[in-house]
Structure 1
Amino acid sequence: MKKSLFPFFVITLLCATAAYAQRGPEWLKNAVIYHIYPSSFQDSDGDGIGDLEGIRSRLDYVKACGFNTIWLSPVFESPFEDGGYDITDYYKVDPRFGTNTQLVELIRDAHAKGIRICLDLVAGHTSDKHPWFRQSRSADTNLQYSDYYIWSDSKSSLPTKKFVKSDAPRNGNFLKNYFEVQPALNYGYAHPDPDEPWQQGYDDPGPRAVRQEIRNIMAFWMDKGVDGFRCDMAMSLVKNDDRNHTATVRLWHEMREWIDARYPECILISEWSQPGEAIPAGFHVDLIIHNGAGYDMYSPLVCNTDDKNRPTVCYFDRAGEGQIRSFVDRYTKERHATREQGYLSMPTCSHDIWRLNRNQRNTPEELKVTMTFFLLMPWIPTVYYGEEIGMRNIEDAPIKEGSFARRNRSSCRTPMQWDTTPNAGFSTADATNIFLPVDPDPARPTVAAQTDDPHSLLSYARGLLALRAATPALGTSGDWRYVSDPNHPYPMVYAREYAGEKYIVVLNPSAQRATAQFPEEGAVADIVYGSGVPARYTVRKDLASVKAEPVSATVLRMK
């Protein structure tokens, strides 16, 4: 088995900036993403599982909310041992969701309504039921897909804890990427060990073939109208990489150059949660989630327990005991490093992490304050389905399709709540046959109850998105400054500015009145949006004072 060494070079931030001074297609700067977990959104055929036709039937709702981009969790063929993130055919829609033609029709109808569609690309691994992997198990190691995966060279060799003991005819054991049913695709080793001849280099034939396969997959779907991909576990591809992910950065840099040349209107979104690495690597958007940079940014703001369900202190909590310093420092750093190259996005939550309506944070008033933060920062907003109506995290939802991974991920995957009909309008199937049980609370929030209620969370979120769309200073083009003292966390006060317009956003999620003082930012022209009793802004001797009432959000336009 031939082996080559990765030709190392330093990809500096300066070089990356020069390569990607263009942030991407023009439409991206105004993107507002709605993340749909397909099994849970809308069932159109009564089998109890959400599908593509169900999503297509709800496009008008998505548009009316103010979203213009949909990210779909995986819809490809899968045995669903990890919720679809274990794929057996990247070129075929799983029958539970529909057909390839139905996906093309969904894309066509979405585009007609001004909505773009991004798919989830699981690039790091496949299912162990995938035909590629089944062939790679063969004792003959010179078949087409023999080198698509990483195998040690003997049954007695388990080089790391991530190797899985195999009963395959092949004399070796395979490397998993996450669960044991998810063998890692072979992108090569950044530093192949000469004493381990089974480790292939980045430029060896196997890794080159896998990279070409990923390009083929993306081209197949982009040729059918797909607008981009969210790339799962994007930082994990090249093995034995250095701490700066130099080899993996090279890989995505090459992918971005290819996309820019062939599909310049399409985008790449990374699950990397390290914008300073992901965006220079070539991603248009990096998702800040509950790990990586999210340890400083996302988790301290909204996670009110750890993975073992032990209570933790967070900022968006009525107790008012949280801190904001780690978010301000890390966000300032990440934004400064990447703002001319790409975009950050911090989702409200996702298929992997708890909903905002969880435990003691459970009232519409609290959720409005939190939603104001997520929708008026200069990143690209990403809202998980149901967050716009305040769906509850269902702690005791049954474990299904591999949903337990450090936490019960079923808790945030329960069916969308449309109305008061059986199964909350999600499905006409018997309640015992639907994908996951609907929130059993008779008072559960629904789209129908909130649509025409001007005081509802849904109406509030729609208003925020409309304000953002109409106000460049509140979008991705606007500058951002943290105005209040981050060592005195409540209230949170930041400024948004663009082309001579300035807005001050004041957020107080705590149950106590809070005051902030800072150098004056001008006079208030008017209060343009908010929830609860509006904050009071006064100026005396060049020092501004903001008094924020409990559980309140205020957006001020300045003169």
Structure 2
Amino acid sequence: MKRTLLTLAAALFLLPASAQQVPEWLKEGILYHIYPSSFKDSDGDGIGDLEGIRSKLPYVKSLGANTIWLSPVFRSEFEDGGYDITDFYRIDPRFGTNSQLVQLVREAHDLGIRVCLDLVAGHTSDKHPWFRQSSEADPELQYSDYYIWSDSKDSLPTKKFVRSDAARDGNYMKNFFDIQPALNYGYLHPDPAQPWQQGYDDPGPTAVRNELKNIISFWMDKGVDGFRCDMAQSLVKGDDKQHTGTMRLWHELRSWFEAKYPEGILISEWSQPRQSLRAGFHIDLLIHNGAGTKIYRTLVCQTDDRGTKETPCFFDYEGRGQVKAFAENYRTEYEATRELGYAAMPTCSHDIWRLNRFDRNTPEQLKTALTLFLTLPAVPILYYGEEIGMRNLEDAPVKEGSYTSRNRSSCRTPMQWDDSPNAGFSTADASRLYLPIDPSPARPTVAAEERDPQSILNYVKGLIALRRQTPALGTQGAWRFVSDVEQPYPMVYARELDGQKYLVALNPSKRSATARFASEGAAAEAVYGTGDGAKYTSKNGLSTLKMKPVSAVILKITE
């Protein structure tokens, strides 16, 4: 079998050396992330669906969001919550039909909302017809080289290989769970001693890349506006800690994508913006791994993946956190990528614990944390339910592969709409729900918070509106850390554009706190926040900002 070599020099030669084009609409982007099984059930089967999402488009609009990102809706065995796909070209019947997806997109567009789908590019289900054919003994079938197989059942080259009982004499590489065989995008440096390793430009990897383009085109041609790409860094294999081969792949795909769909966007689950944005993505998710370990995790996480206590985060009520790791590492990623795209921190996601967890659970605490996520320079990404302060349910039952090193069901429970049965999520019997509703009688709901002017929901709506009305607080405004990185509370950073300057200050601790820093202006006006209490003064070239416990404020520098 022919093998080719992708050299490091060749790959680097292909990387973009200057700023890439970002669609104008994305500069005003506010993303709302929906886990479809848990958002709204329209037919009473206990599982959310496309018609349910369509019925709630006016609600998404009311938040101020202009883009929806849907976790996978393609046909699946649901052994990993939809991330084990059996047909990329069909909507799974639990969610609806292709026609219903098209109708959802059309009605969203009528409201000024774009729709992005989740693209699982790195693997399929082991029940996918491609994999079943690839498992057959005949090595010359259409899909024989769509996956990575060793050349003998006696060979398990790495821990990523799964022992197979298929007719084919070999074992296959997985991408995550054993039921998710890795698609074959080739090896960066095929090993001559391992003839089963194919190179980037060999027929198998080339066919898989073409299939990826076909999938993207199929849905973009139906009106979809872009994709969030799952495990985007995991495609080209081999000893490649810098992901050189995968960067080449995405850069080539971005060139094709931008030429064909100039208004479309690509979002990566990579958490290494200096790689992913240079490779061609418009947005990279800074989450709890990669570069996000010293950015996202030091801000909001209170346990590690095993559920055990780790170093307290910045949003710690006792005030035991630190801010230096966030300030220095976020600045590095921001300055290196601001001309390429957006290093975005979602509030959480289908894989990451909700903000309302353990002793971070009061409206004031959650408003303070949300202030950060909605005033950073990247495109904000709000996970469903965070806008009402939904609780992370630590004891939620494991469902469809949700348990890895942590129980991901805890952040996937049904949306809480009102005080009707099942919190308005579904008319099904409670025993048939996808996951249980938060049993707390004090659980937040959309209906109750819409009526309460002081609610988290109305705070989020107002903050998004302020961001939209204030260019300095948006994606084009510059970001600069202001307070002393050695003194965590309060954290203060500046947002600036066209002569306008705003300071964002956060004190999540239970104690009053004071920041002192080089003067940012003679006077400041509070334009938004959790309430009165912040006092800004400036004298002799030094600014002082005093803040009450558990508070956030946005100040406009007026002199």
TM range (shorter): over 0.9
Q: CA deviation at 1:311?
A: 2.1
Distance in 2, matches of 1:321 and 1:545, equals: 22
Partner amino acid for 1:501? Q
Q: CA deviation at 1:530?
A: 0.5
Report matched runs for 1:239-254 at 5 Å. 239-254=237-252
Q: Is the 8 A contact 1:527 1:555 kept in 2?
A: yes
Partner amino acid for 1:420? D
Equivalent pairs: percent with the same residue? Answer: 67
Distance in 1, matches of 2:90 and 2:523, equals: 56
Distance in 1, matches of 2:241 and 2:467, equals: 37
Report matched runs for 1:163-202 at 5 Å. 163-202=161-200
Q: Is the 8 A contact 2:14 2:251 kept in 1?
A: no
User: Which residue number in structure 2 is paired with residue 105 of structure 1?
Assistant: 103
User: Which residue number in structure 2 is paired with residue 139 of structure 1?
Assistant: 137
Partner amino acid for 2:449? Q
Distance in 2, matches of 1:13 and 1:336, equals: 22
Report matched runs for 1:439-450 at 5 Å. 439-450=438-449
Give the 3 Å change call, closer, same or farther, for CA 14–169 of structure 1 in structure 2: closer
Q: Is the 8 A contact 1:10 1:246 kept in 2?
A: no
2:494 pairs with 1:495:
yes
Report matched runs for 1:2-401 at 5 Å. 2-9=2-9, 16-18=16-18, 21-312=19-310, 313-401=312-400
Q: CA deviation at 1:16?
A: 2.0
Aligned with 2:52: secondary structure? Answer: helix
Distance in 1, matches of 2:544 and 2:422, equals: 49
Superposed CA deviations along residues 511-553 of structure 1, whole A, max 9, x for unmatched, are: 0011111111113342100003331111121111111110011
Aligned with 2:17: secondary structure? Answer: helix
Q: Is the 8 A contact 1:17 1:341 kept in 2?
A: no
Aligned with 1:529: secondary structure? Answer: strand
Q: CA deviation at 1:14?
A: 11
> What is the TM-score with the length of structure 1 in the denominator?
0.98
Distance in 2, matches of 1:14 and 1:73, equals: 31
Q: Is the 8 A contact 1:414 1:439 kept in 2?
A: yes
Q: Is the 8 A contact 2:277 2:341 kept in 1?
A: yes
Superposed CA deviations along residues 307-366 of structure 1, whole A, max 9, x for unmatched, are: 222223111021101011011111111111111111111000000010000001000000
Q: CA deviation at 1:103?
A: 0.1
Superposed CA deviations along residues 191-242 of structure 1, whole A, max 9, x for unmatched, are: 1000110000000000000000000000000000010000000001000142
Partner amino acid for 1:512? R
Give the 3 Å change call, closer, same or farther, for CA 13–556 of structure 1 in structure 2: farther
Q: CA deviation at 1:11?
A: 5.2
80-89 vs 309-318, which moves further: 309-318
Over aligned residue pairs, what C-alpha RMSD do you find?
1.1
Distance in 1, matches of 2:87 and 2:306, equals: 35
Aligned with 2:313: secondary structure? Answer: coil
Aligned with 1:88: secondary structure? Answer: strand
Give the 3 Å change call, closer, same or farther, for CA 404–15 of structure 1 in structure 2: closer
2:469 pairs with 1:470:
yes
Q: Is the 8 A contact 1:534 1:553 kept in 2?
A: no
Aligned residues: 557
Q: CA deviation at 1:6?
A: 1.7
Distance in 1, matches of 2:15 and 2:446, equals: 48
Q: Is the 8 A contact 1:163 1:176 kept in 2?
A: yes
Q: Is the 8 A contact 1:275 1:338 kept in 2?
A: yes
Distance in 2, matches of 1:481 and 1:14, equals: 32
Q: Is the 8 A contact 1:365 1:532 kept in 2?
A: no
Distance in 1, matches of 2:17 and 2:286, equals: 20
Aligned with 2:266: secondary structure? Answer: strand
Q: CA deviation at 1:4?
A: 1.6
Distance in 1, matches of 2:21 and 2:543, equals: 36
Structure 1: which 5+ residue stretches go unaligned? none
Q: CA deviation at 1:10?
A: 5.5
Structure 2: which 5+ residue stretches go unaligned? none
User: Which residue number in structure 1 is paired with residue 429 of structure 2?
Assistant: 430
Distance in 2, matches of 1:10 and 1:509, equals: 48
530-539 vs 9-18, which moves further: 9-18
Superposed CA deviations along residues 448-468 of structure 1, whole A, max 9, x for unmatched, are: 000121100000000000000
Q: Is the 8 A contact 1:229 1:267 kept in 2?
A: yes
Partner amino acid for 2:270? W
Distance in 1, matches of 2:168 and 2:303, equals: 44
